[in-house]
Structures are given as C-alpha cells and as structure tokens.
Chains A and B, each alone.
Chain A
Amino acid sequence: AQKVTQAQTEISVVEKEDVTLDCVYETRDTTYYLFWYKQPPSGELVFLIRRNSFDEQNEISGRYSWNFQKSTSSFNFTITASQVVDSAVYFCALSDFYNFNKFYFGSGTKLNVKP
C-alpha cells in the first residue's frame, strides 16, 4: 500500500538552528515521485520540490536541502539557519509516476521557529 509517514508531529527550534524534517514512505511501485509542500497558517500549499525515484542525488536550494535514500525509503528535508518565516506545517507526499493522479500526503510536521 502507498503510505507516507512523518513521525514528527511538531518541532520547535530557535532561529538560526538547523532542523531536519523526516519523511518515510511505502510504495509497491518501482517508479514514483516524492514531494515536499509548505503550508503556512494562511492555508495555501507552497510547492517546494519534486524528486523522481530514479534520481537519488541530494538537492540544495538556498537554505533548503533534501536527502533522498531509496535504501531506507526516506526523503528528509533540512532547513539550515532557520528563520521565523519558516514556521509552517510541512507535508511530504508520494504520487505515481505516470499519471500523477493520486497524492498520498503524510500527516505533516508543524515547525515552530522562535526568535
């Protein structure tokens, strides 16, 4: 069955600390996509990254970095030097490769960054 697990319900850090959000997934498919979205208090979903199952290279975008490891079925997200504006709920999601029809979202991790 397709499933995404974000075991960390809520994390609190002080500004400038680094923080890693964990994501573990289960899928029967050999090809698939993984995503991270940010949901600020206003509610909209902000796309952060898409990674396909063929590409295990880590990715860095500014203060954000992602570590995809197929061997452990994990797709973790690290924010370096966190800022108050990073406070939000972060969702990891899994979708099928060919149709993008169904997104399986994790339960989300609420990140609180305190000044």
Chain B
Amino acid sequence: GAVVSQHPSRVICKSGTSVKIECRSLDFQATTMFWYRQFPKQSLMLMATSNEGSKATYEQGVEKDKFLINHASLTLSTLTVTSAHPEDSSFYICSAREDRASNQPQHFGDGTRLSIL
C-alpha cells in the first residue's frame, strides 16, 4: 500500500536552531501534502497545505515565516521550523494525498517528535 516516509522521527536541539522535517511519498505522486501539529494529549491540528510548485496555504494563526514549507517535487515536502524555541516542541505529522483516486485520501507519515531545549 501507499507509504509516506517522514524524517527524522525525533529531534532534540537547542533553542534558536532551525530544524527541517522531510515528508516523502514513496510509491505515489502527491501534488498536495499536509502538515499537522499535535501537542501532548491533544488532537491533530492542520497547520498548512503544501502544493507542489506553489506557495503553501497556512491555517489561521500559523506563522508562515516561522514554519517554512517547500514542496519542490511531487514526492517531497519539507517543513522548516526556523529559530525554534521550547514552545515549538511538539509532534509534527505530515500527510500526502494521492493524485489518483484511492480509498485513503490522505496517507500519514509516522511523525516527528521535536524537542527544543
């Protein structure tokens, strides 16, 4: 079945560091990918929709300069958390929507646990 690979799975770094998270669709093309954020014991909240070859669409309240998204190919989207601070610590999950019809409209990556010290 369709698989989405998210890397890295875990990051621990110092405050002020920029962190890049990759989301790859391994066996399908995905014009559209999504980035979610999940705080401990809370639900997933959509941060932004990433479209190949165009600017990402950010949800209300999400700082686009803080969370840079690049969707340079049909199989790869990246999320860069710039100058990360402890409040950015969270679980980030990407998903990819298959361009072809599918029973699963969005395939989720395994998530990245980001801890900022």
Bound Cα distance A90, B59 (Å): 24
With the chains together, A102 CA to B47 CA distance in Å?
10
- Is A45 a contact of B93 with CB atoms below 8 Å? yes
> Which residues of B sit under 8 angstroms from A100, Cβ to Cβ?
97, 105-106
Residues of A within 8 A of B32 (CB): 101
| B45, closest chain A residue (CB) | A105
Taking the closest CB of chain B, its distance from the CB of A97, in whole angstroms, is: 10
Q: Which residues of A have CB within 8 Å of B41?
A: 110
CB of A95 within 8 A of CB of B105, answer yes
**B-side contacts of A91, CB under 8 Å:** 43-44
Partner of B103, one of A50, A108, A110: A50
Q: Tell me which of B46, B91, B103, B109 contacts A103 (CB under 8 A).
A: B46
Instruction: Check: A43 CB closer than 8 A to any chain B CB.
Output: yes
Instruction: Report chain B residues within 8 Å CB of A50.
Output: 103-105
Q: Which of A47, A101, A110 contacts B104 (CB 8 A)?
A: A47
CA distance A44 to B34 in the complex (A): 15
Asked, given contacts A106-B43, A108-B43, whether A44 binds B106 with beta carbons under 8 Å apart, the answer is no
**B29-45 CB contact bits vs A (8 Å, 1 = yes)?**
00010100000011111
A64 at the interface (CB under 8 A from B): no
Chain A interface (Cβ < 8 Å from any Cβ of B): 33, 37, 42-45, 47, 50, 91, 95, 100-103, 105-108, 110
